[in-house]
Amino acid sequence: MILELLLTSAPDWAIRHAAVLVVVVPLIMAPILALSPSGRLAWFLALLATAASTYFAILTLGIVQSTPGGIIEYWIGNWYLIGIEFRVDALNAMILLIVSGMAFLATVFAWPTILADVEKQKISLFLCAFLLCFAGLCGVAATGDAFNLFVFLEISSLSTYVLVAMGARNDRRALPAAFDYLIVGTLAASFYIIGVGFLYAATGTLNMAEMAAQLPALAGNRSVQVGFAFIVVGLGLKAAMWPLHQWLPNAYSYSPSFVTMFLAATATKVALYALIRWLFTIFNPDYSFEQAIFTWVLAPLGIAAMVICSFQAVFQTDVRRMLAYSSVAQVGYMILGISIATAAGVSAGLLHLFNHSLMKGALFMALAGVCLTYKGTTVRDFAGLGRSAPFTMSAFAIAGLSLIGVPLTAGFMSKLQLGYALFDHGWWWAVLFVVFSSFLAVFYVGRLLQAIFFEAPANPGRHRKEAPLIVLVPLWILALANIYFGIDASFPVGLANDGAAAALGLEALQ
């Protein structure tokens, strides 16, 4: 209903260019921000850009859902079949919506945390890097060209390194964290581009749809298989697939709190989307080598991430590290869902991707609020905060419960879908691991909640002090979304089902 209203009220140019404007608006706003003299103006412009991008992303979703084939094709420069294509179907439309929506909420709450974390004269450049990162992530999600995906991946990664390194003002350990991420991210990008090179040599095209059409004829071609392996490893590194996740805990723990929140909610999700695109749309699960990868590589790695990183999260004393390890574990759930390679499995993975960005967004936003008012991120620092900051902490608690997968929260819904998909596929034993990992989540989230609500404050001198309103409003939007989508999941489930159907090239599922 809202979508239809938007579609009918949108001007013609917006409908025609929606898919490309999602990326172009932040891309143009970024250099303007670099020229902006005042930080406040820069923040306002960034807010405008992310809001416009979100609008176009919603519009794109509406167009995709209302066109018969469910695909938007947009040839940049009108170079049909020669140039770069932006190709949006139900799968990328969903990712675009997640990325731009989270970027908008992140920008809204960013202002007080930026003031606290970033030097005054660097604020506009900082926001410029943020918009570039956002434009890069949207570009990865929107493009239909294998090489262009690499370019956008680099745009987002390079600006991410800058954003992570900006944490050095509060904690010098941000510098090695950013450097590690730079090395690993560059490795990932090189692996990806080597893979694309092999495939280009074999198929003679960089367009994803063209490539997909040519690959069946090349079954058994060794360079196709090598390219596939390189791409899976490269994107796996970017998506923090266990055991390629070592860059993530440090990058999340030491970067400015606003950056952590934005990255946790979007960056690995986009890499995971690219992986799904390669695994299902360009390559095909029917290929024997891909079937082997699903069963013997992705599924075991997903399960290992779920169990091992949940264990690691239990033993962390710093809340940000705890949540970062939990993020790797949650990526494990998504990988497990993908590795089932059925429509139900991919849909469960996508649903968890959607829900995870809601809950991690809320958790890290609440954490940023705590950083802002109490300047501490260890579990001890959280003791007694339930009494001094009840609103911030109850939103934190809701998102934490959603992370565990308590019924009536979004996390429960996606784990339920994942369980169904696993049972349908006959992998009942994997359900045991899902339950066990959720059980570990009870421990690490429970430890935090116990400290927050039941322990006496470590420092009794603390007064009642909430996070500022501008943090609380987006925080509660996310927290309530966690509850709403836990009760009525029809919207995200519909998105995920359509996305999975588009990825696998099926008709809509329902």
Partner 1 sequence: MKGDHHMILRVIAKCLIPLILIYAFYVQFHGEVGAGGAFQAGVVLAVALILHSLVFGLTATMRAVPPWFTRALSAVGVLVYAGVGVWAMLNGGAYLEYQALFLEPPGGHDGQHAGIIIIELGVLFAVSGGLSTIFYALAGRVAEIRDEDW
Q: Which residues bind partner 1 (CB under 8 A)?
A: 13, 17, 20, 24, 27-28, 30-32, 34-35, 74-78, 128
> Least distance in Å: CB of 77 to partner 1?
4
> Least distance in Å: CB of 84 to partner 1?
9
- Which one, 32 or 470, has the nearer CB to partner 1? 32
Residues 6+ apart with CB under 8 A from 37: 124
- Which one, 31 or 216, has the nearer CB to partner 1? 31
- Which one, 20 or 264, has the nearer CB to partner 1? 20
> Least distance in Å: CB of 61 to partner 1?
20
Count how many Cα atoms sit within 13 Å of the Cα of residue 56 in the half-sphere of its side chain.
24
> Least distance in Å: CB of 115 to partner 1?
22
Asked if 161 contacts 119 with a C-beta cutoff of 8 angstroms, the reply is no
Displacement of CA 243 from its chain's centroid (Å): 18
How far is Cα 93 from Cα 213, in angstroms, rounded to an integer? Answer: 22
How far is Cα 455 from Cα 54, in angstroms, rounded to an integer? Answer: 41
- Burial grade of 394 (CB within 10 A; 0-12, 13-18, 19 or more): middle
Neighbours of 134 (CB within 10 A): 33
For the chain, give the number of residues.
510
- Which one, 8 or 78, has the nearer CB to partner 1? 78
**Omega before 243 within 30 of 0, i.e. cis:** yes
> Least distance in Å: CB of 387 to partner 1?
47
What phi, psi does 398 have (nearest 5°)? -60, -50
Q: Give, as one character, the DSSP assignment of residue 87.
A: E
> Least distance in Å: CB of 212 to partner 1?
23
> Least distance in Å: CB of 79 to partner 1?
8
How far is Cα 33 from Cα 233, in angstroms, rounded to an integer? Answer: 35
For the record, the structure tokens of 58 come out as 């919603």
- Which one, 20 or 368, has the nearer CB to partner 1? 20
- Which one, 206 or 272, has the nearer CB to partner 1? 206
- Which one, 16 or 447, has the nearer CB to partner 1? 16
- Please name the residue that has the structure tokens 């706003």: 29
> Least distance in Å: CB of 172 to partner 1?
16
Can you name the residues that pair with 318 across neighbouring β-strands? 378
> Least distance in Å: CB of 30 to partner 1?
7
Count how many Cα atoms sit within 13 Å of the Cα of residue 433 in the half-sphere of its side chain.
25
- Which one, 128 or 335, has the nearer CB to partner 1? 128
3-state secondary structure of 378: strand
Neighbours of 289 (CB within 10 A): 13
- Which one, 2 or 35, has the nearer CB to partner 1? 35
Short-list 129, 19, 148, 173, CA closest to 84: 148
> Least distance in Å: CB of 14 to partner 1?
11
- Which one, 27 or 421, has the nearer CB to partner 1? 27
For the record, the structure tokens of 50 come out as 């992310």
- The single-letter code of the amino acid at 251 is A
